[in-house]
Amino acid sequence: MKLTEEFKKNISDEVSKYEQKTSGEIVPVLVQASDHYPASHYRAGILLGLLGQFGAYVFELNYSLPFLPLYCFVAFFVLGFFLAKIGTVKRLMTFKSEMNEEVHQRATELFFQLDTHSTKDRNGVLIFLTQTERRIIIMGDKGIHEKVGQEFWDKIIAEMIPLLKNKQTLEALKLGIQKVGEALAQHYPRHADDKNQLKNDLFTS
């Protein structure tokens, strides 16, 4: 999905809207993929290569050409290798456990990279969406996490996932920001001397 300036402004405005009611910080993140998953390219290549080689035998192609089955394998391997660039193919060729691990690792990296852990009251929340894997992670810093618990984040994610899978990425992010913002406002209402500690911009990669 190609991100427009209007999309980014919508998210930034939504963050600003909810942060006006809380001292907490919301950090929205949207990435294309958490990893390149190189193994998925080789799996797709080998699978198509074997199918191409099998097809050469089944359809009894001209075996007067030397090494024809090998040529078929190589040609279809290359095709499969590049087809794995497509998100759907990449997901099919990647183990669920492998994908979950990479998504969690990338979200954790960005949690610290974007200083979500550095707020005064430890009430920063990362909302992490990844398009290729179609995964969402909401990661709250110690202060807010102790007040709401993991089950609360999981409920928000459950509401967001159908929107993300339906390619309603903007709506998914806005819903997450709304739910997180309401929780932060409840537990960390804004005070007159509160300052914005982190940027409200959408982080993308």
Residues 57 and 109 in one domain: no
Residues 61 and 105 in one domain: no
Q: Does the pLDDT of residue 190 top 70, yes or no? A: yes
Residues 184 and 118 in one domain: yes
Hey, CA dihedral for 85, 128, 111, 99, is it positive or negative? Answer: negative
DSSP SS3 for 29: strand
Mean pLDDT for the stretch of residues 198-202: 95
pLDDT per position as a tens digit, 86-128: 999 999 999 999 999 999 999 999 999 999 999 999 999 999 9
Residues 168 and 85 in one domain: no
φ, ψ at 166 (rounded to 5°):
-90, 15
Q: What is the pLDDT of residue 62?
A: 57
Is 23 or 65 the better-scoring residue by pLDDT? 23
Q: What is the mean pLDDT of the chain?
A: 93
Q: What is the pLDDT of residue 147?
A: 97
Task: Decide the pairing of beta strands 203-204 and 25-31.
Answer: parallel
Range of the domain at 141: 5-35+95-204
Q: Are 76 and 95 in contact (CB under 8 A)?
A: no
pLDDT per position as a tens digit, 127-179: 999 999 999 999 999 999 999 999 999 999 999 999 999 999 999 999 999 99
Confidence tier at 1 by pLDDT (50, 70, 90) = low
Q: Which burial class, exposed, middle or buried, applies to 60 when counting CB atoms under 10 A from its CB (0-12, 13-18, 19+)?
A: exposed
Q: Does the pLDDT of residue 63 top 70, yes or no? A: no
Confidence tier at 33 by pLDDT (50, 70, 90) = very high
CATH number, residue 193: 3.10.310.50
Q: What is the pLDDT of residue 60?
A: 63
Specify the number of domains making up the chain: 2
φ, ψ at 189 (rounded to 5°):
-60, 150
Confidence tier at 193 by pLDDT (50, 70, 90) = confident
Q: What is the pLDDT of residue 66?
A: 62
Q: Which burial class, exposed, middle or buried, applies to 185 when counting CB atoms under 10 A from its CB (0-12, 13-18, 19+)?
A: middle
Confidence tier at 64 by pLDDT (50, 70, 90) = low
Last residue of a domain, one of 57, 92, 127: 92
Residues 65 and 132 in one domain: no
Tell me if the pTM is above 0.85: yes
